[in-house]
Structure 1
Amino acid sequence: MKDFITKIYSKRILILIDMILLNLALYVSFVLRFDTVEPWRYQFGFIPVITIIGIGSFYISNLYNRLWKYASIGELKSIVKNAAFINILFMTYTYFFQIDLPRSIPLINFMLIIFTLGGFRFALRILKDYLDHSRETQPESNVLIIGAGDAAEMIIREMHKHPELNKHIIGLIDDDPEKRNLEIHGIEVIGNRYDIPDVISNNNIDEVIIAIPSAPGSDIKEVYKLASRDSSVSVKTVPGMYEILQDEVNISQLREVKVEDLLRRDPVELKTDKISSYIEGKRVLVTGGGGSIGSELCRQVARFNPQQVIIFDIYENNAYLLQRELRERYPELNIFTAIGDVRDPDKLNYLFARFKPDVVFHAAAHKHVPLMENNPGEAVKNNIFGTRNVAMMADRYGAEKFVLISTDKAVNPTNVMGATKRVAEMVIQDFDNRSMTDFAAVRFGNVLGSCGSVVPIFKNQIAEGGPVTVTHKEVTRYFMTIPEAVQLVMQAGSISDGGEVFVLDMGEPVKIIDLARDLISLSGLEPEVDIDIEITGLRPGEKLYEELMSDSENNQATEHQRIFISNLAERPDCKLMNEIDKFCDLIDRDNNNKLIAMLKSLVKTYEPNRSNVQEVIFDEKFQQDINN
Structure 2
Amino acid sequence: MRTKLIMLSLLLVDICITAAVPFMAMLIRFEGNISNSYLQVIIANTPIFVAVRISIFYFFGLYHRLWRYAGINEMIVIIGAVTCSSLLLMVYTYLSGDVLPRSIHILSWLMNTVFIGASRISLRVVHHLRQRLSEETVNVLIIGAGDAGAVLARELLQREDKRKIIGFVDDDVYKHNKMLNGIKVLGARKDISAIIRTHFIKEIIIAMPSAGGAVIRETVQVCRQTGCLVTILPGIYELVDGKVTVQQLRKVNLEDLLRRDAVSLDTEGLQRYLSGKRVLVTGAGGSIGSELCRQIAKFNPDLLVLLGKGENSIYEIHRELQDCHLPFPIEPVIADVRDQDRIRSIFSQYKPQVVFHAAAHKHVPLMEAQPEEAVHNNVFGTKTVADVANEFGAETFIMISTDKAVNPTSVMGATKRAAELVVQHMNSISRTKFAAVRFGNVLGSRGSVVPLFRKQIAAGGPITITHSEMKRYFMTIPEATQLVLQAGALAHGGEVFVLDMGEPVKIVDMACDLIQLSGLIPFQDIKIEFTGLRPGEKLFEELLTAEEGTSATRHQKIFTANLHAVDGKHIQHCLLALYGATHRHEVTAVLDELIPSYAAARKKHCIGADGNAGVLEQKQQSATQAERQSAVT
TM-score range, shorter chain: 0.7 to 0.9
Residue 78 of structure 2: aligned partner: 79
The question of 1:148 aligning with 2:145 is answered yes
Task: Read off the aligned partner of 2:77 and give its amino acid letter.
Answer: S
CA contact (8 A) 1:416 1:608 kept: no
Q: How does 1:78-157 map to 2 (within 5 A)?
A: 78-86=77-85, 108-136=107-135, 139-153=136-150, 155-156=152-153
Q: Return the offset for 1:259.
A: 0.2
Change (3 A) 1:310 1:18: same
CA contact (8 A) 1:470 1:536 kept: yes
Comparing 87-96 with 589-598, greater Cα deviation is found at 87-96
CA contact (8 A) 1:376 1:596 kept: no
Equivalent residue for 1:467, pick from 462, 465, 479: 462
The question of 1:350 aligning with 2:350 is answered no
Residue 562 of structure 2: aligned partner: 568
Residue 264 of structure 1: aligned partner: 259
The question of 1:409 aligning with 2:404 is answered yes
Comparing 62-71 with 273-282, greater Cα deviation is found at 273-282
Comparing 147-156 with 350-359, greater Cα deviation is found at 147-156
Rounded Cα–Cα distance in structure 2 between residues aligned with 1:25 and 1:523: 63
Residue 444 of structure 1: aligned partner: 439
Q: Deviations over 1:18-53 (max 9, x none)?
A: 454356555555544444452744755775675566
- The secondary structure found in structure 2 opposite 1:172 is strand
The question of 1:599 aligning with 2:594 is answered yes
CA contact (8 A) 2:361 2:367 kept: yes
Q: Return the offset for 1:83.
A: 4.7
Task: Read off the aligned partner of 1:436 and give its amino acid letter.
Answer: R
Task: Read off the aligned partner of 2:194 and give its amino acid letter.
Answer: D
Q: Return the offset for 1:608.
A: 5.6
Residue 488 of structure 1: aligned partner: 483
Rounded Cα–Cα distance in structure 2 between residues aligned with 1:209 and 1:499: 47
CA contact (8 A) 2:236 2:242 kept: no
- The secondary structure found in structure 2 opposite 1:469 is strand
Rounded Cα–Cα distance in structure 2 between residues aligned with 1:536 and 1:528: 15
Q: Deviations over 1:354-413 (max 9, x none)?
A: 222232211111222333334333322222211111111111122232211111222333
Rounded Cα–Cα distance in structure 2 between residues aligned with 1:337 and 1:291: 13
Q: Return the offset for 1:549.
A: 3.0
The question of 1:207 aligning with 2:208 is answered no
TM-score (norm 2): 0.84
Change (3 A) 1:610 1:131: closer
Residue 229 of structure 1: aligned partner: 225
Q: How does 1:168-179 map to 2 (within 5 A)?
A: 168-179=164-175
Comparing 232-241 with 285-294, greater Cα deviation is found at 232-241
Q: Deviations over 1:552-581 (max 9, x none)?
A: 44444444333x231423222332334322
Rounded Cα–Cα distance in structure 1 between residues aligned with 2:364 and 2:33: 91
Rounded Cα–Cα distance in structure 2 between residues aligned with 1:28 and 1:336: 68
Q: Return the offset for 1:428.
A: 1.9
TM-score (norm 1): 0.85
Q: Return the offset for 1:352.
A: 1.8
Q: Deviations over 1:571-618 (max 9, x none)?
A: 223323343222222346752441332232497986665411369xxx
Q: Deviations over 1:415-436 (max 9, x none)?
A: 3322322222222222223323
Rounded Cα–Cα distance in structure 2 between residues aligned with 1:243 and 1:277: 24
Segments of structure 2 that go 5 or more residues without pairing to the other structure are 611-633
CA contact (8 A) 1:600 1:607 kept: no
Q: How does 1:12-91 map to 2 (within 5 A)?
A: 12-18=8-14, 20-22=16-18, 24-25=20-21, 27-36=23-32, 38=34, 40-41=38-39, 43=42, 47=46, 51=50, 54-55=53-54, 58=57, 61-86=60-85
Change (3 A) 1:7 1:66: closer
Segments of structure 1 that go 5 or more residues without pairing to the other structure are 616-628
- The secondary structure found in structure 2 opposite 1:571 is coil
Comparing 74-83 with 288-297, greater Cα deviation is found at 74-83
The question of 1:217 aligning with 2:218 is answered no
Task: Read off the aligned partner of 1:76 and give its amino acid letter.
Answer: M
- Number of aligned residues: 606
- The secondary structure found in structure 2 opposite 1:582 is helix
Change (3 A) 1:512 1:602: closer
- The secondary structure found in structure 2 opposite 1:527 is coil
- The secondary structure found in structure 1 opposite 2:568 is coil
Change (3 A) 1:377 1:356: same
CA contact (8 A) 1:447 1:482 kept: yes
Q: Return the offset for 1:197.
A: 2.3
Rounded Cα–Cα distance in structure 2 between residues aligned with 1:505 and 1:25: 70
Q: Deviations over 1:230-264 (max 9, x none)?
A: 4x533222332222322744444332211011111
Residue 619 of structure 1: aligned partner: none
CA contact (8 A) 1:400 1:438 kept: yes
Q: Return the offset for 1:480.
A: 0.9
Residue 621 of structure 1: aligned partner: none
Residue 630 of structure 2: aligned partner: none
CA contact (8 A) 1:600 1:606 kept: no
Q: How does 1:531-542 map to 2 (within 5 A)?
A: 531-542=526-537
The question of 1:359 aligning with 2:354 is answered yes
Change (3 A) 1:185 1:19: farther
Residue 314 of structure 1: aligned partner: 309
CA contact (8 A) 1:9 1:68 kept: no
Rounded Cα–Cα distance in structure 2 between residues aligned with 1:407 and 1:596: 17
The question of 1:394 aligning with 2:389 is answered yes
- The secondary structure found in structure 1 opposite 2:437 is strand
Task: Read off the aligned partner of 2:560 and give its amino acid letter.
Answer: S
Task: Read off the aligned partner of 2:567 and give its amino acid letter.
Answer: D
Change (3 A) 1:200 1:87: same
CA contact (8 A) 2:591 2:598 kept: no
CA contact (8 A) 2:278 2:302 kept: yes
Q: Return the offset for 1:184.
A: 5.3
- The secondary structure found in structure 1 opposite 2:167 is strand
The question of 1:190 aligning with 2:189 is answered no
CA contact (8 A) 1:377 1:595 kept: no
Rounded Cα–Cα distance in structure 2 between residues aligned with 1:463 and 1:385: 40
Change (3 A) 1:184 1:589: closer
- The secondary structure found in structure 1 opposite 2:140 is strand
Rounded Cα–Cα distance in structure 1 between residues aligned with 2:173 and 2:14: 46
Task: Read off the aligned partner of 2:562 and give its amino acid letter.
Answer: L
Q: Return the offset for 1:454.
A: 1.8
Change (3 A) 1:234 1:275: same
Change (3 A) 1:499 1:53: farther
Residue 620 of structure 2: aligned partner: none
Rounded Cα–Cα distance in structure 2 between residues aligned with 1:418 and 1:587: 20
- The secondary structure found in structure 2 opposite 1:209 is strand
Rounded Cα–Cα distance in structure 2 between residues aligned with 1:301 and 1:55: 52
Comparing 256-265 with 404-413, greater Cα deviation is found at 404-413
- The secondary structure found in structure 2 opposite 1:242 is coil
